[in-house]
Structure 1
C-alpha cells in the first residue's frame, strides 16, 4: 500500500462506515455510496471465500475508484463475460506450442482457441502501443 493510501486508511478499523455515506444529503455524497457499499460487500465476500483478509476490501475499493473513477464503463454479463474470461485464460496459458492442450483443457474448437489468441494478442499490442495523437 502506498504512503498516501496508508494515510487514508490508517485509522480505519472497520469499513462499516460506508453504510452511513447516505446520511449526508449533499449531492456529491449521495450519488454513488450505494455502489461503493455494494462493491465493498462483494469484495469482502470474495476475499473471505479465497482465504484472504477481508479487511483489505476498502483499500481495493479505493484502488478501483482511483483507476476507473469518473469513467462510464460497461461490465459484460452472461455468455459474453464467460467468453471473455475464457479467452483471457487461454491467453494466459498459451505458450506458443500448446494449441491442442488448450483445445482439450477448455473443451473448445481449434478455431475458438486461435480466435481467442488473436483477440488477446491484438488487445495486448494495443495496450503497449503509443498513441500518436495523445489520446488515452
Structure 2
C-alpha cells in the first residue's frame, strides 16, 4: 500500500473501521485492516464505508488465522510493477525481434534487453528453491 494514503487519510475517514475494531486489537493487524479498508473504499463493488470496514476486518482476521504467529515479508513489488507497455513487449518477444520491438515501441534495444534480463532473473528466482541456511 502506498504510505501516502495512510498519511493523508483524515482520522474521521477511519471511523467506520474503528467502530468494528476492538480497542485491544493488535497494532500490526490494525494497520493491515486500515490498508485493506482504504483500498476497499475505492472499489465499485463495495457499497459503503461500513461494508468496507466489515470486509477489511474479515480479511484481516482470515490473514491472522492463516499466517498469524509467523513472520512474513511483504515485498514492495518493484519487479512486479512493469508498465503495460513493457508487459506487452515481453509478450510479443519471440527470440529474434529485439530491433523490431524497439522500433515499434520507440525504445532502445538496450531497454528490450533489460526487460528480458529482468524476466530471466524473475524466472530463475521462481524456479530455484532457496537454500536453507
TM-score normalized with structure 1 length: 0.51
Shift of 1:116: 1.2
Give structure 1 stretches of 5+ with no counterpart: 1-17, 46-53
Give structure 2 stretches of 5+ with no counterpart: 1-13, 47-51
Q: Computing the radius of gyration over CA atoms, which structure comes out larger, 1 or 2?
A: 2
Shift of 1:130: 2.4
Aligned residue in 1 for 2:7: none
Query: Does 2:24 align with 1:22?
Result: no
Number of residue pairs the alignment of both structures matches: 99
Aligned residue in 2 for 1:74: 76
Aligned residue in 2 for 1:123: 122
Q: Which has the higher contact order (CA 8 A, sep 6+)?
A: 2
Aligned residue in 2 for 1:31: 31
Structure having the higher helix fraction is: 1
TM-score normalized with structure 2 length: 0.52
1:36-89 deviation digits (Å, cap 9, x = unpaired): 1122234x25xxxxxxxx36x969x95xx679x94343255xxx997x335444
Moved over 4 A (4+): none
